[in-house]
Amino acid sequence: MESDKNYRKSSGRKPGGRKAAGPRKPGPGKTTHHRENREPEKIRLNRYIANAGVCSRRDADKLIESGVIKVNGKVVTDLGVKVDIRDKVQYDGVTLRPEKRHYVLLNKPKGYITTTEDPFNRKTVMFLVRNACRERIYPVGRLDRDTTGLLLLTNDGQLAKRLTHPKHKINKIYAVTLDKNLKKPDFETIARGMELDDGFIKIDQIAFMKDAESKKEIGLEIHSGRNRIVRRIFESLGYKVMKLDRVSFAGLTKKDIPRGKWRHLNEKEINFLKML
């Protein structure tokens, strides 16, 4: 966002004591000359493609190099090219339009699958956020059909890829309810880390839920995004997960979001996610 120029303050008088004439203010309906001739902002072609929701900037570079991107009717393979809103950018013959970015936080209820569409006509999370925006948004990662809690949906492909990539170690906190009390040796096994069928898993923290009536209720913090990882941890030790609720994702919480409802992220939250 551009800010107005800061002009140096003066005494307001010419040498000799007379007051200097100040800059004329534009009359009604008029603008200053430099605003009338301002050129549209130019951005790198890969960013333009990413803003259109096609893919991340890195993947956009691959598209450019492969020769499937045209700018104003000409194939462009140079990664350094910049464009603006007046340029016609096409991917495989389809003209791209940069979309407004949306970031929607949903408190997912039980019984909805995390996918954009389902061939078996089951309920998907997209039905719950159908009125969130006109642009098409997508779930960031997945929650099982029977798992409840926080799910982020966005059309920001670059951010979605960052939040799901293992190297960024995005933390998630789950509230787990088991079919029986968690035994101390098993608690310690999980805390140390354990071997599963797809490799070793190390959690960040485990604790019994405060004020819980039994040791069936556990809080688990983890950064792994492996499939059904929380359920598999407990199932491997002979427990059945009765309830699984994601209460935090990447520092975001369910506060003031009833089950089945959603809200847009505010600017502060969006900037925080982009710094992760």
| The model's pTM | 0.70
Assigned CATH for 103-275: 3.30.2350.10
Condensed to tens digits (0 to 9), the pLDDT of residues 98-149 reads 778 899 999 999 999 999 989 999 999 999 999 999 888 999 999 999 999 9
Query: Considering the chain, what is the average pLDDT of its residues?
Result: 86
Condensed to tens digits (0 to 9), the pLDDT of residues 226-253 reads 999 999 999 999 999 999 999 999 999 9
Angstrom distance (rounded) from CA 197 to CA 141: 21
Angstrom distance (rounded) from CA 239 to CA 176: 11
Residue 144 annotated among the catalytic residues of the structure: yes
Domain ranges of the chain: 43-95, 103-275
Contact, 253 vs 150, CB < 8 A?
A: yes
Residue given tokens 């059309």 in the structure block = 155
Angstrom distance (rounded) from CA 157 to CA 101: 10
Nearest to 209 by CA among 248, 170, 238, 182: 182
Contact, 83 vs 48, CB < 8 A?
A: yes
Residue among 144, 146, 186, 204 flagged as catalytic: 144
Q: How many helices (H) and strands (E) does the chain have?
A: 8, 17
Angstrom distance (rounded) from CA 66 to CA 248: 40
Q: Answer whether 43-95 and 103-275 agree in fold.
A: no
Confidence bin at 37 (pLDDT 50/70/90): low
Query: What is the arithmetic mean of pLDDT over 12-39?
Result: 48
Average the pLDDT over each of 67-71, 72-76, 158-162, 168-172 and give the range with the smallest value: 158-162
Class of domain 43-95: alpha beta
Q: Does 20 score more than 50 pLDDT?
A: no
Q: Apex CA 263: angle with CA 258 and CA 264, to 5°?
A: 165
